[in-house]
């Protein structure tokens, strides 16, 4: 056999041997894609059914006059026009909601972060974490009922009794029936409840930090805990800061059950009326689903815009 024939034979063997390898790689890639879709599809289906579909349905219903008892009648932007130009109750609810959010949101956010930072450095941090997180496990109605004992309007209320014993007041203060006190009381209760969830997320972020970075920081001149916080922890904690901010925004703007249990609905001089309460009134009391959907869409747009702002401030370049 000549050298040319040997070369041809060797090349044919190499080419023939490469085909099974290609088929094997193709089979692995198909298997990997199938496994990936198997894990992805359940979440994707749940996301479509319980997030995308409700949002699309709410947008559609907001453009109709739909009261459950009759078929939906297309009215276009009439619901939005009336909501913005003629519904003074909605304007009041919007003002109250932003007042609650501006006051309770930042306080809850920063206190959750500071307490997580402090407790992460303690010896028995698991015990302290459980004690700090426990209030958030209760419902808003349960927690506000507990606080109502403290802010009771008669002399049996803990705060009124204390003030009477000290001689600072001569008669009990109507805490939950005075419009000026509704905002501070609701803020206290919502901050007490909201800190638990934010705290747990921040604590998880602290425990996931790379400790070698702190050693490198000490070599580079980091001398105390405050410098660690500013130059090391905050940059590494950006994802958790973003997560906490989004949760705080959605929780603050969606406040409803705490306000209703403390001040009633809509409360004295509508001091306890929020956007979520206004929505609940039209959806489940008046059964005007079309108008309630318009309120829901407006609330969604406000939350979305604030979320985008937070992403700009706390998000990374990749996000």
**What per-residue confidence (pLDDT) applies to 27?**
54
Output the domain CATH number for residue 247: 1.10.3720.10
Same domain, 36 and 85: no
Task: Tell me what pLDDT residue 70 has.
Answer: 82
- pLDDT confidence of residue 60: 93
Do residue 48 and residue 103 come from a single domain?
no
pLDDT in tens, 217-259: 777 777 777 887 888 888 888 888 888 888 888 888 888 888 8
What would the pLDDT profile of 56-67 be if each residue is shown by its tens digit?
Answer: 999 999 999 988
In a domain, 76, yes or no: no
pLDDT at 152 (0 to 100): 85
Q: What percent of the chain has pLDDT over 70?
A: 88
In the predicted model, what is the mean pLDDT of residues 7-28?
A: 52
CA dist 140 → 16, 143, 256 (Å): 70, 5, 9
Do 268 and 156 belong to one domain? yes
Residue ranges of E strands in the chain: 64-65, 73-74
138 domain residue, yes or no? yes
Contact, 74 vs 85, CB < 8 A? Answer: no
Phi and psi of 178, rounded to 5°? -110, 120
Task: Average the pLDDT over each of 1-15, 109-123, 189-203 and give the range with the smallest value.
Answer: 1-15
Structural domain count, the chain = 2
Pair (294, 172) in one structural domain: yes
Identify whether residues 37 and 113 lie together within a single domain: no
Distance CA 111, CA 105 (A): 10
- Say if 68 falls within a structural domain: no
Same domain, 209 and 304: yes
Two tokens at 264?
């009633």
Residue 98 and residue 37 share a domain = no
User: What is the residue-averaged pLDDT of the chain?
Assistant: 81
Residues 150 and 282 in one domain: yes
* Both structure tokens of 180: 């000026």
Q: Which residues of 164-179 are buried (b: 16+ CB within 10 A; e: fewer)?
A: beeeeeeebbebbeee
Cα–Cα distance, 42 to 34 (Å, whole number): 13
With cut-offs at 50, 70 and 90, classify the pLDDT of residue 20: low
Q: Kindly state whether residues 38 and 145 are assigned to the same domain.
A: no
Q: Which domain holds residue 97?
A: 81-314
Decide: pTM greater than 0.85. no
Judge if 13 and 50 occupy the same domain. Answer: yes
User: Are 109 and 168 part of one and the same domain?
Assistant: yes
Residues 253 and 211 both lie in one domain:
yes
Whether 212 is covered by a domain: the verdict is yes
* Percentage of the chain lying above the pLDDT 90 cut: 13
Which pLDDT value is given to residue 7? Answer: 47
User: Is residue 319 one of the residues assigned to a domain?
Assistant: no
């Amino acid at each position: 056999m000549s050298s040319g024939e040997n070369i041809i034979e060797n090349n044919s063997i190499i080419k023939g041997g490469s085909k099974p390898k290609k088929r094997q790689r193709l089979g692995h890639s198909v298997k990997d894609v199938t496994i990936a879709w198997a894990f992805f599809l359940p979440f994707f289906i749940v996301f479509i059914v319980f997030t995308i579909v409700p949002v699309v349905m709410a947008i559609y219903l907001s453009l109709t006059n739909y009261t459950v008892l009759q078929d939906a009648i297309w009215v276009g932007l009439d619901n939005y026009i009336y909501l913005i130009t003629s519904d003074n109750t909605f304007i009041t609810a919007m003002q109250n909601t932003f007042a609650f959010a501006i006051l309770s949101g930042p306080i809850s956010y920063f206190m959750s972060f500071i307490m997580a930072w402090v407790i992460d450095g303690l010896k028995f941090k698991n015990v302290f974490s459980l004690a700090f997180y426990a209030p958030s496990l209760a419902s808003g109605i349960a927690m506000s009922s507990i606080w109502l004992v403290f802010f009771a309007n008669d002399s049996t209320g803990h705060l009124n009794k204390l003030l009477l014993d000290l001689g600072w007041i001569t008669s009990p203060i109507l805490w939950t029936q005075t419009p000026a006190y509704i905002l501070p009381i609701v803020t206290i209760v919502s901050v007490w409840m909201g800190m638990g969830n934010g705290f747990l997320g921040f604590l998880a972020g602290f425990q996931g930090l790379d400790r070698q970075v702190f050693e490198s920081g000490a070599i580079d001149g980091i001398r105390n805990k405050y410098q660690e916080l500013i130059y090391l922890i905050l940059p590494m904690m950006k994802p958790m800061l973003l997560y906490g901010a989004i949760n705080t925004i959605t929780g603050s703007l969606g406040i409803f059950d705490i306000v209703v249990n403390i001040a009633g609905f809509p409360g004295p001089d509508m001091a306890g009326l929020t956007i979520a309460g206004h929505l609940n009134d039209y959806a489940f009391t008046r059964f005007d689903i079309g108008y309630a959907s318009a309120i829901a869409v407006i609330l969604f747009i406000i939350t979305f815009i604030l979320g985008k702002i937070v992403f700009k401030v706390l998000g990374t370049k990749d996000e």
